[in-house]
Amino acid sequence: MKRNPAALFFVAAVVAAMLFVGFHAARRVGGDASADSLDVAGKSAPDFTLQSLDGKNIQLSSYKGQAVLLNFWATWCGPCKIEMPWFVELQKEYGPQGLQIVGVAMDDASKEEITKFVKEMGVNYTILLGKESVGQEYGGVNVLPTTFFIDRDGKIVAREFGLQSRGLFVDNIKKALSQGRAVQAQK
């Protein structure tokens, strides 16, 4: 089968234009939103209850005493796929210090599809099935990924939109771990 070079060029140009527009729109939203990050810092993270992939109802406030990296993502999100291996490493590294990473899947994929995706990515942290209402409580999750860093007392320390550097995540995790009170382990 012979391919038409003009058609291939047209498809490539359309894809490039979509990537260009999407990248700049996300950067613009992320840029405006990061100035806005100061508005959420210090506020209590809205509590919610969502279902985990194993069918349990998980309440965000059940992590009080732990720092939480709350990541809104989707299976179709390219930048989310880049972050997930970092989160696996960060959960291993900072989990013993009191970090809990919680991923909230915000796409229309089925529970089975999300479970398969999470297994393929080797995720070792909690994944919840998201609801639009929860995203709205966090100011509307219009950019994926969107990540909140919550201290041990349930206060938001920082919010990041889009793909950020691993170093920035580490800085925000350390800030979240250092603020608030740790809950002592039960004997």
Please tell me which of 33-42, 115-124, 136-145 the model is most confident about, judged by mean pLDDT.
115-124
Q: Would residue 22 count as lying in a domain?
A: yes
* pTM beyond 0.85: no
User: Does a structural domain hold residue 13?
Assistant: yes
Q: Is residue 57 part of a domain?
A: yes
Say if residue 46 is preceded by a cis peptide, omega within 30 of 0.
Answer: no
Q: Which domain holds residue 117?
A: 5-178
Number of H helices, E strands in the chain: 5, 7
pLDDT in tens, 53-112: 999 999 999 999 999 999 999 999 999 999 999 999 999 999 999 999 999 999 989 999
User: Pairing between strand 126-129 and 146-150?
Assistant: unpaired
- 134 in any annotated domain: yes
- Domain count of the fold of the chain: 1
C-alpha distances in angstroms, 84 versus 20, 150, 185? 24, 18, 28
DSSP letter for 101, please. E
Is position 157 within any domain? yes
| CATH number for 69 | 3.40.30.10
pLDDT tens string 151-176: 999 999 999 999 999 999 999 999 99
Q: Is 127 inside a domain boundary?
A: yes
Contact, 67 vs 151, CB < 8 A?
A: yes
Nearest to 71 by CA among 175, 172, 183: 172
Residue 186, in any domain of the structure: no
Per-residue burial over 117-131, b if 16 or more Cβ lie within 10 Å, else e, is bbeebebebbbbbbe
